[in-house]
Structure 1
């Protein structure tokens, strides 16, 4: 798009899933570049960086969830201008204090063993890429697609040090107050209609063969999420 400002988009995959896609299986075969182009018609989308982690089977969850996620990421990797960046998916057993707090006879908190599921590394990677891209001069604006307040400093630094515009693409109707407090130059919202208008082809051929949209993502269902167990912060 001649004369348009260049935009770099940074997507928190787990946050997008939990906030916008978990209850909408028919939207999950999402072409994130096309979605961004629909939401930012006055910008030239230079690149879309998608941050996530390969999920593992979690006891009690749908065992097919990891396979569906891998099918989607394989399809997404074929979209020009989209790059995938991976953190680590962890499932650990830990002892933690009960809530509300209960004290034992010796005065120490009573604890229970819990399963803690988390994704590590993606947030730091997203922030680092955003700031580096802004400082490189390759973009005129940076947009974060997330509702995670952890990205406040990255956006602030991009504006103050690189003098680029900053934008928020919110996967929720009510963005985090800390993100809005930055007074972003641009705010967009992810809506079901836009996601439905930005679906990948049902069948995609890549270097390894053909990948198809999971059947359980065609219509609404009660399936376990492909990024099971992780809650958006």
Structure 2
């Protein structure tokens, strides 16, 4: 039996599931998902990377509720890393001619995710160097991780790296063609849902699936 460490690009997985299945499977137990994706391996670590959404308080509240539920249910096997968003400078404001960080009223503000991809890539390389697991499982279709995968193979040539493609991504980017890969199917998502009620011992509260995700 081989050991596996999984690295999950939270937003890539979220948007893939949402584009394909709407909100049907968002109440996802990511540790159970990895176990079902690699049923013959021992899962030794699951690292989940995301950032709290900006400008949408209700969505951010549901997201934070979900992350706390994952922590309560999955325990030490799961490592949740939360990055952040910063306003994205796009072009000078049409009103004051300053950059888009000005305070002029406007309808649209864009944000860019910070630190999560870098943190995921760094962890993959560090864990491979420390021989945490025999297999590195990357859950993402983002080709920006190709350099990190090359670094993993550089520090440990015998490391097996496998790509698990989120829904909505029919095939890997050409930068991943030399990797073993497969698509995450609906059956795996359906069978990897969190229980409807989870007891959070830290806050001494029950956690339930958000109504909007039902």
Out of 10, 13, 37, the residue aligned to residue 13 of structure 1 is 10
Match of 1:84 in 2: 80
Kindly tell me the number of residue pairs found equivalent between the two proteins.
194
CA contact (8 A) 2:47 2:79 kept: yes
CA deviation vs aligned residue, 1:75-133 (integer Å, no higher than 9, x gap)? 11121311101111223464269xxxxxxxxxxxxxxx862221111000000000000
In the TM superposition, what is the alpha-carbon distance from 1:196 to its structure 2 partner? 0.9
CA contact (8 A) 1:87 1:122 kept: yes
Distance in 1 (alpha carbons) for counterparts of 2:154 and 2:88: 39
Match of 2:208 in 1: 212
Distance in 2 (alpha carbons) for counterparts of 1:84 and 1:68: 16
Unaligned runs of 5+ in 1: 98-112, 219-233
Distance in 2 (alpha carbons) for counterparts of 1:42 and 1:27: 24
Q: CA RMSD in A?
A: 2.0
Distance in 2 (alpha carbons) for counterparts of 1:42 and 1:91: 44
Establish whether residue 154 from structure 1 lines up as the match of residue 151 from structure 2: no
Find the residue that maps to 1:50 and give its secondary structure.
strand
Distance in 1 (alpha carbons) for counterparts of 2:146 and 2:28: 26
CA contact (8 A) 2:17 2:26 kept: no
Distance in 2 (alpha carbons) for counterparts of 1:73 and 1:96: 36
Greater shift, 18-27 or 203-212, is seen at 18-27
In the TM superposition, what is the alpha-carbon distance from 1:40 to its structure 2 partner? 0.8
Distance in 2 (alpha carbons) for counterparts of 1:144 and 1:122: 14
Q: Which runs of 4+ in 1 moved over 3 A?
A: 91-94
Match of 1:127 in 2: 121
Unaligned runs of 5+ in 2: 94-105
For normalisation by structure 1, the TM-score amounts to: 0.77
Match of 2:101 in 1: none
Establish whether residue 167 from structure 1 lines up as the match of residue 165 from structure 2: no
For residues 35-50 of structure 1, what are the structure 2 equivalents within 5 Å? 35-50=33-48
CA deviation vs aligned residue, 1:11-49 (integer Å, no higher than 9, x gap)? 000111112234431200000111111111121111100
CA contact (8 A) 2:84 2:113 kept: yes
